[in-house]
Amino acid sequence: MKSELTIFNELVDELLKLEKSEPVVKLGAPEGMKDKFDIAVSDEPMSEDDFKAVLGNVVLNTPRTASRSFFNQLFGGRNPVATLGELLSVMLNISMYTYKVGGPHVGIETELVQQICSRIGFPIEESGGTFAPGGSMSNFMSVIIARDAYDPEIKNMGVSKRLIIYTSKESHYSIAKNATFAGIGRENVRYLPVNEKGKMKTEDLELLIDQDKKMGLHPFLINATAATTVLGSYDDIDTLGDIAKRYGLWLHVDGAYGGCVIFSEKHRHLVKGIEKCDSFTINPHKMLSTPLSCSIFVTKHKQQLVESFSQDASYLYQGDDDYNLGKTSLQCGRRNDAFKLWALWKSVGTKGLEKMVNQLFYLADVARDYVSNHPDYKLYSFEESTAVCFNYKDIPSKDVCSALADHGALMVGHGSFGDQNFVRLVTVNSSLTENDILNFFKHFEKFTEEYYF
Ligand SMILES: Cc1ncc(COP(=O)(O)O)c(C=O)c1O
């Protein structure tokens, strides 16, 4: 292993240098990838030197998501302590299903789940949760658990009634996929309209539920989004919590993107009423820059989590089930996604997590101020969103984003809301500074001057 670790250190050294000197990789067309990277595997072994060269070529030409020019997705950056935790997890290579093979990591995962439940305001004794392989899968767990809570027989007999989910038009696409996976069906997802800020309009929700009930359908789940993928809007959880209670529906909050505001005194009001929800998704791999993936599903109905996800397997579950985390998980073998978050949390404390979250909102303020004070820009975003959406001199957003990446200038994505398309700059890397944001605009304008005018 020592020689592999030497290779690792050499490659990482080079990568870190390149992230500074050439923050954006010129990827080239996907069709050329196979040859450029010598991707095909063969029957014969390789010489050590050739192997190192091939590895280096791939690693050093992979998109650089931790660079200071990456604003493309809802993850980015590389928190050093969380990365250390992740690297150690890889070395330990445990599976999180039992105490017997997970050891102290079982306690670590449980501690994190409890901490998050208590920050939400869930009663600790009745609450539980697990790490899932991403926000989409955490949301999937919400559909399963809400479905089983509505009708426990579905677990045994399958779905035989039309169950209905309510979510907003701007909610994540995993909601529709999960409806298919759970046997609910895409047609049984009702999309509520949103206001001009992308927030779900709740006025008509009760009417819709009443109509569905009258038609003999079975409303069972409301999905609130905190925050929406494109505009970064927070649905009104407080009101949705009241409606869910009135109708006896499960309220899930998809906080994959913006749920980490629970760590910030300043921004926590965005999820006002969060304690009313039945379950919650939170993705530290987005706002807290822990390496992918790090997503947590929590619920205030721990017993229901057990009902929905436990299955006996006598070859595996031999000790006390309180410490057999596989009994509340989607998976059997499961990687350790808890250690990296724990390492980060342990080292910086909750106050450090709060600072990280606040920094993201601050960086977004810097970007929004810049855009709104510059006449060549049009802003589509609003206060307290970490997705800053804009257009510049009427240049088509899709076009400019591709050109920026192709020429190794910047990595930034584009999105749409209604019939408007725009560049979408997201602030998810809290190690960035005001200067990095101003540099983004400097490079953006310089590039567009040279490329378009
Ligand atoms: C609101 C929302 N929910 C869920 C997800 C899915 O999370 P993941 O990419 O971890 O599956 C995303 C991803 O961007 C998101 O923005």
Q: Is the CB–ligand 1 distance for residue 74 below 6 Å?
A: yes
pLDDT reported for residue 191:
98
Regarding the beta carbon of 430 and ligand 1, being less than 6 Å apart is answered: no
Helix (H) or strand (E) holding 221: strand 218-225
Predicted TM-score (pTM) of this structure: 0.97
For residue 378, report the distance from its CA to the centre of ligand 1, in Å. Answer: 27
Compute the distance from residue 136 Cα to the ligand 1 centre, in Å: 6
Mean pLDDT by groups of 10 residues along the chain of 453 residues:
96 98 94 93 96 97 96 93 98 96 97 98 97 98 98 96 98 98 97 97 96 98 98 98 98 98 98 98 97 98 96 84 91 97 98 98 98 97 96 95 95 96 97 97 96 84
**Which protein residue has the closest C-alpha to ligand 1 atom 5?**
135
Largest distance between two CA atoms of the chain: 71
Helix (H) or strand (E) holding 280: strand 279-282
pLDDT for the residue 443? 96
- Please tell me if the CB atom of residue 254 comes closer than 6 angstroms to any atom of ligand 1: yes
Q: Is 134 in the pocket of ligand 1 (CB under 6 A)?
A: yes
Rounded Cα–Cα distance for residues 189 and 172 (Å): 12
Nearest atom (ligand 1) to Cα of 293: 10
Place of tokens 């931790």: 66
Q: Are 417 and 230 in contact (CB under 8 A)?
A: yes
Residues 6+ apart with CB under 8 A from 29: none
Q: Which amino acid is at 368?
A: R
- Size (the chain), residues: 453
Give me ligand 1 centre to Cα 449, in Å.
Answer: 34
What is the structure's pLDDT at 314? Answer: 84
Residue 64 to residue 53: CA distance in whole angstroms: 19
Q: Is 295 in the pocket of ligand 1 (CB under 6 A)?
A: yes
**Whether residue 167 has its Cβ less than 6 Å from ligand 1:** no
Cα–Cα–Cα angle for 282, 285, 291, nearest 5°? 150
Q: Are 258 and 270 in contact, with CB atoms under 8 Å apart?
A: yes
CATH architecture assigned to 357-452: Alpha-Beta Complex (3.90)
CATH number of 84-343: 3.40.640.10
**Ligand 1: centre distance to CA 31 (Å):** 28
Neighbours of 57 (CB within 10 A): 13
225 lines ligand 1 (CB under 6 A): yes
CB 59 within 8 A of CB 11: yes
| Amino acid occupying residue 222 | I
Domain ranges across the chain: 2-65, 84-343, 357-452
Phi first, then psi: what are they for 25, rounded to 5°?
-80, 135
Among protein residues, the one whose CA lies closest to atom 16 of ligand 1: 229
Predicted local confidence at residue 195, as pLDDT: 96
Mutate to test the pocket of ligand 1, among 73, 74, 252 (most ligand atoms within 8 A of CB): 74
Contact 200, 161 (CB under 8 A): no
State the distance from the centre of ligand 1 to the C-alpha of 257, rounded, in angstroms. 6
* Closest approach atom of ligand 1 to CA 295: 10
Distance 256 CA to ligand 1 centre (A): 5
Helix pair 338-372, 104-120: axis angle to 10 deg: 40
Q: Is 263 within 8 Å of 345 (Cβ atoms)? A: no
8 A C-beta contact, residue 392 and residue 444: yes
CA–CA separation, 330 and 182 (whole Å): 13
Q: What is the pLDDT of residue 248?
A: 98
336/236 Cα distance (integer angstroms): 33
Measure the CA–CA gap between 104 and 108, rounded to whole angstroms: 6
Sheet strands side by side (includes 189-192): 128-132, 295-299, 279-282, 250-255, 218-225, 163-168, 189-192
DSSP SS3 for 255: strand
Contacts of 340 (CB under 8 A, 6+ apart): 82, 83, 84, 85, 86, 89, 290, 291, 294
> Do 84-343 and 357-452 show the same overall fold?
no
Atom of ligand 1 nearest to the CA of 73: 14
Q: Is the CB of 257 under 6 A from ligand 1?
A: yes
End-to-end CA distance of the chain: 54
How confident is the model at residue 322, as a pLDDT?
Answer: 85
Q: Is 300 in the pocket of ligand 1 (CB under 6 A)?
A: no
- Ligand 1 atom having least distance to the Cα of 255: 1
Amino acid at 141: M
Atom of ligand 1 minimally distant from the CA of 286: 10
Write out the E strands in 170-217: 189-192
Phi, psi torsion values for 350, nearest 5 degrees = -60, -30
Does ligand 1 come within 6 angstroms of the Cβ of 391? no
Rounded Cα–Cα distance for residues 274 and 217 (Å):
27
Cβ of residue 252 lying under 6 Å from some atom of ligand 1: no
Q: Is the CB of 287 under 6 A from ligand 1?
A: no
For residue 136 and ligand 1, the question of a CB distance below 6 A is answered with yes
Which residue is it, tokens 């409606």? 243
Rounded distance between C-alpha atoms, residue 398 and residue 310, angstroms: 45
